């Protein structure tokens, strides 16, 4: 520091934000539990911010690193460095340096990383050092920051919050919308329209404990089979077909079957929402790993498609013939879907006439489980498509409960597992954005999973004491368990019984993991 290139770029923008401001606001937002105060703090920050700083400011406030992994360990980070007396670092300088840090590789990488961290810390004040440490180790997480930021942006720019939310869902990125809003004002929101070829975040479901609970809540509803495959969004514009995952990755090339299916449909322009799944000759689902393998690997697509062919099964239509259907009630969207997509390519469903018709819904669930699927999704017929949100109008019911937890640390294995990171420390999200450890498991992992997790966890490591490797809390893993038991050794006062790994959920971010509160609510009998 100072890094000349970055400084020069910054000097041209008078509004270049100082890191000290960001650190200060971050602390204030964390310290208050009042949502309106958080919104006010963020609105004030956004008003002062340069539009180009905002795509950095938002993830840093939320505790996310846009660079992904930095490869810097605790040993390097915790080395004491005399702090700067005066704040001078800009947010953009820090971002450039962390980006450079993330790109360091090859021989001498460790020394080079240590030197960069030293430079960064020496340029930071004591308060900024604390902020950076929290950011890099992933300890600082502001849960739900994005929702508060949407409101803050609305207040700072005078745009209606609902319009900002809709733009974010259509853009699939809060940062993009924030930048456009601050650069051009509320009119910029008109640029974010549903467009064939541009993916939007999918609508998600809440959990219901039983079919009757769901039908009670929703009244007249559709009960649909819940297929345990991979969520896909299919876009067709003439001959151009694109397939996106739930995290908006383009996987068109990996699933040639979907391009074929899209081109066979009668419509020329549409966006469909559904699941892709590998079925056996009898139409029963093959293992989830087989479906996931098709989506996860790019190697020899032709052979893969021959050995494990997958089928698309659609359940919603977002756009047909250039008409945006998002705000239409589900019943009307489904009518469009049925017009376009023939029966075998749509999920099975039954319509239920409210609680009086409960037995029909229960029979449908039993039949769906019988056919090897994991449960049902029960949907209100009058609800719009709330992209990117866990709408209250989709409720999933599954007999087997699993948890999506975050790996906090892992222990080096023994015997057959020497050299592998084996025993996982599992955490659930807590109200303050941190993670509470719920227990450990080394069960349920295949050899391939062990090898994979060892490699991934080493990349995320922040500390290794030779026994336990502490990692940035980023990997989400799906855990099956037999219940909870009280334990004073864990912060939530409970631990999982017979926890075992089902699969890694790379499609989920740590912020989407299950919370301590929902876990305790689901096991009230243990905690009472």
Ligand X SMILES: Nc1ncnc2c1ncn2[C@@H]1O[C@H](COP(=O)(O)OP(=O)(O)OP(=O)(O)O)[C@@H](O)[C@H]1O
Residue 131: its H or E element: helix 126-137
Which residues, listed in sequence order, are joined to residue 207 by a DSSP beta bridge?
396
**One character per residue 350-379, x = contact with ligand X (rule: CB under 6 A):** ---------------------------x--
Query: What's the Cα-to-Cα distance from 298 to each of 135, 245, 292, 444, rounded to whole Å?
Result: 33, 14, 12, 26
Q: What is the DSSP letter of 252?
A: G
CB of residue 376 vs ligand X: minimum separation in angstroms? 8
Spatial separation of the C-alpha atoms in residues 492 and 410, rounded to whole Å: 20
CB nearer to ligand X: pick between 246 and 269: 246
| Residue 231 assigned ligand-binding role | yes
Return the biggest CA–CA distance within the chain: 72
| Residue 284 assigned ligand-binding role | no
One residue of 81, 204, 220, 449 binding ligand X per CB under 6 A: 204
**3-state DSSP call for residue 350?**
strand
Binding piece for ligand X, criterion CB under 6 A, among 35-43, 142-150, 189-197, 220-228: 220-228
Residue 227 contacts ligand X per CB under 6 A: yes
Which residues, listed in sequence order, are joined to residue 277 by a DSSP beta bridge?
311
Residue 503 contacts ligand X per CB under 6 A: no
CB of residue 396 vs ligand X: minimum separation in angstroms? 5
CB nearer to ligand X: pick between 9 and 205: 205
Structure tokens at 468: 């336990």
One residue of 9, 104, 205, 351 binding ligand X per CB under 6 A: 205
Cβ pair 19, 53 in contact under 8 A: no
CB of residue 155 vs ligand X: minimum separation in angstroms? 30
| Contact set for ligand X, span 387-416 (CB under 6 A) | 396
One residue of 128, 275, 336, 474 binding ligand X per CB under 6 A: 275
Binding piece for ligand X, criterion CB under 6 A, among 89-97, 157-165, 222-230, 469-477: 222-230
CB of residue 505 vs ligand X: minimum separation in angstroms? 7
| Residue 190 assigned ligand-binding role | no
CB nearer to ligand X: pick between 43 and 318: 318
Structure tokens at 9: 């770029």
Residue 231 contacts ligand X per CB under 6 A: yes
| DSSP, residue by residue, 379-430 | EETT----TTSEEEEEEEE-SS-EEEEEEEEEEEB-GGGBTSEEEEEEEEE-
| DSSP, residue by residue, 472-503 | -TT-EEEEE-SEEEE-TTSTTSEEEES-EEEE
Residue 449 contacts ligand X per CB under 6 A: no
The dihedral over CA atoms of 287, 288, 289, 292, expressed in degrees to the nearest 10, equals: 140
CB of residue 274 vs ligand X: minimum separation in angstroms? 8
Q: 460: closest CA among 64, 129, 73? A: 73
One residue of 93, 128, 151, 224 binding ligand X per CB under 6 A: 224
CB of residue 246 vs ligand X: minimum separation in angstroms? 6
Structure tokens at 259: 């391009």
Which region holds residue 158: left if phi is over 0, alpha if psi is between -120 and 50, else beta?
left
> Helix, strand, coil proportions of the chain in percent (round to 5)?
45, 25, 35
| Residue 506 assigned ligand-binding role | no
One residue of 315, 435, 442, 481 binding ligand X per CB under 6 A: 315
CB nearer to ligand X: pick between 45 and 347: 347
Q: 221: closest CA among 345, 387, 355? A: 355
Helix count and strand count (H, E) for the chain: 20, 19
Q: What is the DSSP letter of 198?
A: S
Is 226 marked active-site? yes
Binding piece for ligand X, criterion CB under 6 A, among 161-169, 219-227, 445-453, 490-498: 219-227
Residue 236 contacts ligand X per CB under 6 A: no
Structure tokens at 226: 């819940």
58 phi/psi in degrees, rounded to 5: -65, -55
| Residue 246 assigned ligand-binding role | yes
| Residue 315 assigned ligand-binding role | yes
One residue of 64, 165, 166, 226 binding ligand X per CB under 6 A: 226
CB nearer to ligand X: pick between 205 and 520: 205
CB of residue 109 vs ligand X: minimum separation in angstroms? 36
| Residue 127 assigned ligand-binding role | no
Active-site entry in 38, 75, 217, 226: 226
Sequence-separated (6 or more) residues with CB below 8 Å from residue 65: 59, 98, 135, 136, 138
CB of residue 226 vs ligand X: minimum separation in angstroms? 4
Which sequence positions are flagged as catalytic?
A: 226
Extract the annotated binding site.
Answer: 224, 231, 246, 275, 315, 390, 396
Q: Which residues bind ligand X (CB under 6 A)?
A: 204-205, 224, 226-227, 231, 246, 275, 315, 347, 377, 396
Extract the annotated binding site for ATP.
Answer: 224, 231, 246, 275, 315, 390, 396
């Amino acid at each position: 520091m100072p890094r000349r290139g970055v400084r020069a770029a910054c000097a041209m923008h008078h509004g270049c934000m100082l890191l000290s401001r960001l650190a200060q606001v971050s602390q204030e937002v964390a310290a208050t539990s009042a949502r309106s105060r958080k919104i006010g703090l963020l609105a004030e920050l956004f008003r002062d911010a340069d539009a180009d700083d905002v795509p950095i400011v938002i993830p840093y406030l939320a505790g996310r690193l846009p660079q992904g992994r930095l490869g810097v360990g605790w040993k390097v980070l915790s080395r004491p460095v005399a702090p700067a007396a005066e704040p001078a670092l800009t947010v953009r300088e820090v971002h450039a340096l962390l980006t450079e840090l993330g790109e360091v590789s090859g021989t001498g990488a460790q020394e080079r990383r240590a030197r960069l961290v030293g430079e960064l810390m020496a340029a930071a004040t004591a308060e900024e050092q604390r902020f950076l440490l929290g950011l890099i180790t992933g300890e600082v997480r502001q849960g739900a920051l994005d929702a508060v930021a949407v409101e803050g942006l609305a207040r700072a720019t005078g745009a209606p919050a609902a319009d900002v939310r809709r733009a974010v869902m259509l853009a699939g990125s809060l940062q993009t919308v924030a930048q456009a809003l601050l650069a051009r004002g509320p009119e910029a929101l008109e640029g974010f329209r549903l467009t064939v070829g541009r993916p939007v975040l999918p609508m998600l479901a809440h959990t219901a404990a039983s079919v009757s609970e769901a039908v009670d809540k929703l009244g007249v509803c559709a009960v649909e089979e819940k297929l345990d495959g991979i969520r896909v969004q299919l876009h067709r514009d003439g001959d151009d077909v694109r397939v996106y995952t739930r995290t908006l990755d383009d996987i068109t090339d990996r699933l040639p079957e979907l391009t074929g299916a899209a081109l066979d449909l009668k419509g020329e322009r549409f966006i469909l929402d559904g699941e892709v799944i590998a079925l056996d000759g009898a139409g029963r689902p093959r293992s989830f790993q087989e479906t996931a393998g098709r989506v996860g690997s790019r190697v020899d697509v032709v052979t893969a498609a021959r050995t494990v062919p997958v089928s698309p099964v659609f359940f919603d239509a977002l756009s047909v013939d250039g008409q945006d259907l998002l705000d239409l009630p589900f019943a009307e969207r489904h009518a469009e879907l049925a017009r376009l997509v023939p029966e075998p390519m749509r999920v099975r469903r039954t319509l239920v006439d409210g609680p009086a018709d409960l037995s029909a819904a229960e029979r449908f669930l039993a039949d769906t489980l019988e056919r090897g699927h994991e449960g049902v999704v029960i949907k209100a017929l009058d609800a719009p498509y709330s992209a990117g949100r866990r709408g209250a109008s989709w409720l999933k019911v599954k007999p087997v409960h699993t948890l999506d937890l975050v790996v906090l640390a892992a222990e080096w294995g023994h015997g057959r597992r020497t050299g592998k990171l084996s025993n996982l420390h599992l955490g659930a999200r807590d109200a303050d954005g941190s993670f509470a450890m719920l227990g450990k498991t080394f069960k349920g992992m295949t050899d391939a999973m062990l090898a994979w997790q060892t490699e991934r966890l080493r990349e995320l490591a922040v500390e290794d004491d030779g026994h336990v490797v502490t990692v940035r809390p980023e990997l989400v893993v799906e855990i099956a368990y037999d219940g909870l038991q009280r334990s004073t050794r864990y912060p939530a006062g409970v631990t999982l019984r017979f926890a075992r790994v089902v699969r890694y959920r790379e499609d989920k971010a740590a912020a989407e993991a299950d919370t301590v509160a929902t876990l305790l609510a689901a096991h009230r009998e243990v905690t009472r």
